[in-house]
Amino acid sequence: MKMFVTGSTGKVGSRLIPRILQQGHHVKILVRDATKVKKLQQQGVEIVEGDLLYPESYKDALRGTDVVIHLAAQFRGVDEHTTKITNLDGSLALAQTVLQIGVPRFVFASTSNVYGNGHTRPNREDDELRATDAYPVSKIEAEKELLTLHHEQGLGLRIVRLPFVYGDNDPHIEEIIPFLRDWNPAKRMHMGHHVDVAQGLMLAATSSGIDGQIYNVADDAPISVAELLELYNIVIPAEASQQEFDPWDMIMDTTRIRKELHYRPIYPSFYTAKDADAL
């Protein structure tokens, strides 16, 4: 298949693309600065310099594409306005161009954070989305608009909601530890190794008959904050156990993707990845 990927320099994209290439697919990536992706270019990726908000910079490159995998997003370190422009406006500009060119499939990477608090079981794809922070709110808005494009104009949309992603020498866990110290140690969170995130995205990209569907991707065993901190030799502050928390926040039901796309995590828990030296 011919694939067009955004967000290739991010944590997920930079680890997904080599796996796509290993499966024999042709890959184009949209980047603002080609000098930042020389390593990927050496692996056989075709580089397209452009900006999501300016479709003329990448429209011609989309011709003949079988699927777009849209990973590009703003998460931390920017203001709410910038987050919305990238995650909502950029996504819509790309999706509308996909429709114009006639690309049959559009995979949108969303987040488990869209669910927010207040559910009484693991979060399912059809649950009400209650997030309030800028990043997940921008993803909720993008999902809503993309689903409208699917229903009204036939966008071949597949939404994949990702968990906390780790592995493949990703510093993500180390980056979040300062925040985890302030969480109740009993709080659990679903995680997903990069190899399994790639599996979920590729299943969404290559499966037929799933337009308009939403899938949760995660491992099989949520891990507690206490376990993670202990594994990284971090002392849990005494006052942390007094923090209130929602026991179902960041916990996902993966029944749909397991049943419909036959997803099975290679690393069903953080411990299996650690034992395999895959962190």
What tokens were used for 70?
């849209």
Amino acid at 199: Q
**Per-residue pLDDT at 107:** 98
**pLDDT tens digits for range 114-144:** 999 999 999 999 999 999 999 999 999 999 9
Residue 231 has pLDDT above 90, yes or no: yes
Tell the CATH superfamily of the 2-166+191-220+253-267 domain: NAD(P)-binding Rossmann-like Domain (3.40.50.720)
The residue-averaged pLDDT of 208-221 equals: 98
Secondary structure tally for the chain: helices H, strands E: 11, 11
pLDDT value at residue 148: 98
Q: Where along the chain do its domains lie?
A: 2-166+191-220+253-267
Under 8 Å between Cβ of 252 and 218? yes
The answer to whether residues 145 and 88 touch, using CB atoms and an 8 Å cutoff, is yes
Give yes or no for a contact between 48 and 30, defined as CB atoms under 8 angstroms apart. yes
Strand 157-162 to strand 164-166: parallel, antiparallel, or no bridges (unpaired)?
A: unpaired
Query: What 3-state DSSP class applies to 217?
Result: coil
Measure Cα distances from 35 to 40, 49, 135, 144 in Å. Answer: 10, 10, 28, 35
Tell me: the pLDDT tens digits for 155-210?
Answer: 999 999 999 999 999 999 999 999 999 999 999 999 999 999 999 999 999 999 99
| Distance between CA atoms of residues 272 and 150, nearest Å | 38
The amino acid at 121: R
